[in-house]
Amino acid sequence: MFRYLWRHKAFSTVLLLLFGVGFYLNSLAAWAGLALLLFLRLTKVHSTLLIYDLTDRAALKHVRTLATKRAHMLSPDEYGNVSDEAWDKHLSAFIKKTLLPEFQRRKIDHLLAKDPKRSAARLRTRINRIIDRHQPAGAADGFNDTMTGREFELYCRDILQEAGWQAALTPGSGDQGADIIAEKDGRRVVIQCMFYNGTVGNKSVQEAYAAAAFQDAPYAVVVTNSVYTKSAHQLAHKNGVLLMHHSDLERLDLIVTSGAGTR
């Protein structure tokens, strides 16, 4: 309770002022502050505030992953349409698997049971606002939906160079599908860039795998502004090809260090 009040300075300030006035001027003010504390503690107001606080902390902890997932799922399809259905479903799963167990442990999950749809919608809105405020802006700088394929390659190269990679574009012919060759700390990565309006399929995975073999690179990556088909994910997993969204490029070194994308 006190940790929540400390994190939310408005409540702390009110209570401190009330107690301060009580100690120096009138004990009634101190009693009023104590009554407010008891009210928050003993009514559902406290539980509701605790739900929001736990939601905020979980969303901040996973904000990079959530921001990446949202960018993937809210990408336009081949007709330029954007649907938030998949993203809402993902957030609902996040609430159920990550937040609900903590709510149950704190014995505050009953507040969501009265109107679960409305409660879930409020939490999804709150998580989206946190992503808006805290998601990394670097990968979005300079990106726009009207760039050409070559401009997208240059954009990806620049992100990698800013992240400390020695990244260079291939000539465009005889590269066996490689668009960028990147090296850092002894790691050599072959990257195929797919600026696409539709879903990226198996062909890009096959080409990235072949290009990495041709370039003697242990890491094969496909990066896109869009999303991948289910079969592309399956093939990539089988062949050790890393599928990425362009917003993840600045973290490429952390991703390959974990062993992802190794053929």
The CA angle 12-111-42, to the nearest 5 degrees, is 45
Are residues 48 and 111 in contact, defined by beta-carbon separation less than 8 angstroms?
yes
Please state the pTM of the whole predicted model: 0.51
Which CATH number fits the domain that encloses residue 208?
A: 3.40.1350.10
Domain stop point among 115, 136, 157: 136
Q: What is the pLDDT of residues 203-230, one digit of tens each?
A: 999 999 999 999 889 999 999 988 888 8
Which residues constitute the domain of residue 72?
A: 2-136
Q: What tokens appear for 176 in the block?
A: 């066996």
| Residue 138 banded pLDDT, cuts 50, 70, 90 | very low
Structural domain total, the chain:
2
Q: Look at residue 195 and tell me whether its pLDDT is greater than 60.
A: yes
Distance between CA atoms of 88 and 112, rounded to whole angstroms? 17
Are residues 184 and 165 in contact, defined by beta-carbon separation less than 8 angstroms?
yes
**Same-domain status, 96 and 220:** no
Q: Cα dist. 236→62, 82, 194, 216, 240 in Å?
A: 24, 25, 15, 18, 6
Domain stop point among 136, 170, 205: 136
Are residues 30 and 19 in contact, defined by beta-carbon separation less than 8 angstroms?
yes
**Same-domain status, 73 and 101:** yes
Is 263 inside a domain boundary? Answer: no
Please give the average per-residue pLDDT across 173-181, as a whole number. 75
Residue 144 buriedness (CB in 10 A; 0-12 / 13-18 / 19+): exposed
Are residues 229 and 199 in contact, defined by beta-carbon separation less than 8 angstroms?
yes
**Same-domain status, 35 and 160:** no
Is 262 inside a domain boundary? Answer: no
Distance between CA atoms of 80 and 77, rounded to whole angstroms? 5
**Same-domain status, 183 and 128:** no
pLDDT at position 9, please? 57
Is 66 inside a domain boundary? Answer: yes
**Same-domain status, 126 and 154:** no
Distance between CA atoms of 82 and 30, rounded to whole angstroms? 54
- DSSP per residue over 53-70, as a string? HHHHHHHHHTHHHHHHHH
Domain stop point among 136, 165, 186: 136
